[in-house]
């Protein structure tokens, strides 16, 4: 009986549901392709991105961990002001107290003129 029902389907031609499904698949695929075209970067964008990555890699290779550090080593000194435990920045003071000291020095220089 199963073979008989298969013969009937082929004799009738394509079912209307198959046409609907194929039309639906075509419509969905068209929408998906449209979205992909909007979201996929162009060749120029990919080339620019590749150049940027190469620049970053070359910079990272130049600044390797094996290379000795430049400049002054970090200090363990604390601010010279009593009660202030902030890290030393310049002239024995933390950033806050150094700025205060510096403003006083500038004021003295202006008064002398």
pLDDT higher than threshold 60 for residue 4: no
Range(s) of the domain holding residue 57: 17-61
Average pLDDT in the chain: 78
- pLDDT per position as a tens digit, 73-100: 777 889 999 999 999 888 889 999 999 9
Residue 49 domain flag: yes
Q: Do 22 and 56 reside in the same domain of the chain?
A: yes
Residue 1 lies in a domain: no
Is pLDDT at 8 greater than 50 in this prediction? Answer: no
CB 78 within 8 A of CB 86: yes
Residue 10 inside a domain? The answer is no
Question: Is residue 46 domain-shared with residue 81, that is, in the same domain?
Answer: no
Contact 88, 75 (CB under 8 A): yes
User: What is the DSSP code (8-state) at residue 83?
Assistant: T
- Kindly indicate the confidence band of residue 25, based on its pLDDT and cuts at 50, 70 and 90: confident
57 shares a domain with 29? yes
- Domains of the chain: total: 2
């Amino acid at each position: 009986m199963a073979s008989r029902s298969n013969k009937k389907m082929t004799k009738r031609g394509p079912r209307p549901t198959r046409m609907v499904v194929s039309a639906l698949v075509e419509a969905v695929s068209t929408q998906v392709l449209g979205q992909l075209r909007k979201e996929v970067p162009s060749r120029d964008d990919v080339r620019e991105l590749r150049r940027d990555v190469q620049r970053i890699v070359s910079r990272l290779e130049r600044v390797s961990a094996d290379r000795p550090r430049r400049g002054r080593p970090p200090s363990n000194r604390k601010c010279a002001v009593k009660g202030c435990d902030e890290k030393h920045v310049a002239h024995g003071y933390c950033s806050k107290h150094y700025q205060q000291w510096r403003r006083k020095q500038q004021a003295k220089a202006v008064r002398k003129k």
